[in-house]
């Protein structure tokens, strides 16, 4: 691998995944940030919107057309759903790698996607080509991709938590339960009443119990590695914290197995998955700002239900960090390049 510098563009850098990408990329030793686009904020210095970046980034938000994205090596889409599918084709044709942090290329069944995302897909043929990029499952495939579908935050925590069980075929995969809790940044940087501090602080609630967009994404991912049909009840909750996802996973064991050994072996060579000692309870703050998933596995009272606790920072391993990890794979860098931040605790 040469010491080539990767030229990076970001489309839509005004949300939380955008600022988190910026935080990681300005500390990445092999990247040069060429452009950050925002139609609405074109002309504004990025550091005026995100003062944590003062002194670290001189770029201004630019008009997409004038950004020269086709001269980049890779373009990240940190946009709302439905944007990347409009713009990826041109970039791919120009030889630019595309990493979409939104959902446009995550669901292979376009009809399902259109049902859950309530819009017509603009680019089904790239869906077929795109790689759903959870490195712990398919990094070889990722390394050759042109279009990367970066997994959702809940799907990352839930899939990494269930994966060893499903691969081992030791649970009733048709009746999985994922009780997931997310910090409020997971809802994005949108001016909506229900995520105001005065509404969401000192409060806890479930939402989307009837059907959440991440449910089919998780089922699709687990189905690929399962030995039979996968069924999932997925209940997300809003938690009064800024960052962090805690997924509590339940499955019925169909055979006796050393769960601790199963997990430790599965993730022994994974830099970004940390299996805690038996009896542990991972905390979301232990991954705050860091690109890592920490997991503990329990079998309460020695019964037939396995309980998995899986935590990530939704903006890092659940979004921007995983996107950089995928970029590193795409460009043949060590997978942890620029991703060695230690979680902020307390």
User: Which residues in 168-207 contact a second copy (CB under 8 A)?
Assistant: 175, 177, 179, 181, 183-185, 187, 189-193, 195-207
Closest distance between a second copy and the C-beta of residue 8, in Å? 16
Query: Which residue in the set 44, 137, 235, 257 belongs to the binding site for a second copy (CB under 8 A)?
Result: 235
Instruction: Read off the DSSP letter of residue 77.
Output: E
Minimum gap (Å) between residue 167 Cβ and a second copy: 23
The site map against a second copy for 83-102 (x = CB under 8 A) is --------------------
Give the distance between the most distant pair of CA atoms in the chain: 62
> In the bound complex, what is the minimum distance in angstroms from residue 90's beta carbon to a second copy?
31
112 in contact with a second copy (CB under 8 A): no
Rounded Cα distance between 180 and 233, Å, is 11
> Quick one: which of 66, 209, 261, 334 contacts a second copy (CB under 8 A)?
209
For tokens 């925002």, the residue is 38
Contact in structure between 217 and 106 (CB atoms under 8 Å): yes
* DSSP code at position 318: I
Write the burial class of residue 197 (CB in 10 Å: 0-12 exposed, 13-18 middle, 19+ buried). Answer: exposed
Q: Among residues 31, 123, 153, 293, which one is catalytic?
A: 153
Cβ proximity to a second copy, 1 vs 342, nearer residue: 342
**Of 289, 187, 311, 201, the residue nearest 245 (C-alpha):** 311
Should residue 228 be labelled a site residue for a second copy when binding is judged by CB under 8 A? Answer: no
135 within 8 A of 327, measured Cβ to Cβ: no
168 vs 343 by CB, closer to a second copy? 343
Window contacting a second copy (CB under 8 A); options: 34-42, 132-140, 148-156, 275-283? 275-283
In the annotation, is 153 catalytic? yes
| Alpha carbon distances (Å) from 35 to 97, 189, 328 | 15, 21, 19
Site for a second copy in 246-265 (CB under 8 A): 246, 248, 250, 252
Min. distance of Cβ 124 from a second copy in angstroms? 25
Of 250 and 331, which has the nearer Cβ to a second copy?
Answer: 250
Instruction: Verify binding: residue 234, a second copy, rule CB under 8 A.
Output: yes
- Are 158 and 218 in contact, with CB atoms under 8 Å apart? yes
* DSSP bridge pairs for 98: 75, 147
Query: How many residues sit close enough to a second copy to count as binding (CB under 8 A)?
Result: 86
Closest CB 53 distance from a second copy, rounded Å: 7
Check if the beta carbon of residue 29 is closer than 8 Å to that of residue 3.
Answer: no
Tell me which residues in 2-31 interact with a second copy (CB under 8 A): 16, 19, 23, 26-27
Among 53, 107, 130, 163, binds a second copy (CB under 8 A): 53
Cβ atoms of residues 277 and 297 within 8 Å: no
Element housing 46 (H / E): helix 46-49
Closest to a second copy by CB, 323 or 330: 323
- Does residue 335 contact residue 270 with C-beta atoms inside 8 Å? no
Closer CB to a second copy, 27 or 143, in the complex:
27
Q: How far is the CB of 220 from a second copy (least distance, A)?
A: 15
d(CA 89, CA 165): 37
Residue 34 or 181: which CB sits closer to a second copy?
A: 181
61, β-bridge pairs: 36
Catalytic residue ranges: 153
């Amino acid at each position: 691998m040469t010491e080539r510098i990767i030229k990076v563009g970001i489309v839509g850098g005004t949300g939380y995944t955008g600022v988190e990408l910026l935080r990681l990329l300005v500390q990445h030793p092999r990247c040069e940030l060429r452009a950050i686009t925002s139609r609405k904020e074109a002309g504004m210095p990025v550091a005026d919107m995100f003062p944590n970046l003062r002194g670290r980034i001189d770029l201004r938000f630019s008009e997409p057309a004038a950004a020269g994205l086709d001269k980049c090596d890779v373009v990240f889409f940190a946009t709302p759903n439905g944007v990347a599918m409009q713009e990826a084709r041109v970039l791919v044709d120009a030889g630019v790698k595309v990493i979409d942090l939104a959902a446009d290329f995550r669901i292979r069944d376009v009809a399902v996607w259109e049902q859950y995302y309530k819009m017509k897909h603009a680019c089904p043929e790239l869906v077929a080509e795109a790689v759903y990029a959870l490195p712990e499952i398919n990094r070889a495939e990722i390394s050759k991709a042109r279009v990367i579908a970066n997994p959702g935050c809940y799907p990352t925590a839930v899939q990494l938590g269930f994966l060893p069980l499903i691969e081992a075929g030791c649970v009733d995969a048709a009746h999985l339960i994922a009780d997931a809790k997310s910090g409020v940044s997971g809802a994005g940087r949108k001016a909506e009443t229900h995520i105001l501090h005065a509404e969401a602080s000192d409060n806890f609630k479930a939402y989307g119990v009837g059907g959440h967009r991440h449910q089919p994404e998780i089922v699709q991912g687990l189905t690929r590695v399962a030995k039979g049909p996968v069924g999932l009840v997925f209940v997300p909750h809003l938690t009064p914290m800024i960052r962090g996802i805690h997924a509590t996973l339940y499955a019925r064991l169909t055979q006796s197995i050393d769960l601790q050994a199963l997990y430790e072996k599965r993730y022994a060579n994974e830099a970004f998955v940390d299996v805690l000692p038996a009896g542990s309870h991972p905390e979301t703050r232990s991954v705050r700002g860091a690109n890592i998933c920490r997991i503990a596995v329990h079998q309460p009272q020695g019964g037939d239900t396995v309980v998995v606790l899986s935590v990530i920072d939704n903006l890092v391993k659940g979004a921007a960090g995983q996107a950089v990890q995928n970029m590193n794979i795409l460009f043949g860098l060590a997978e942890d390049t620029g991703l060695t931040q230690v979680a902020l605790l307390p």
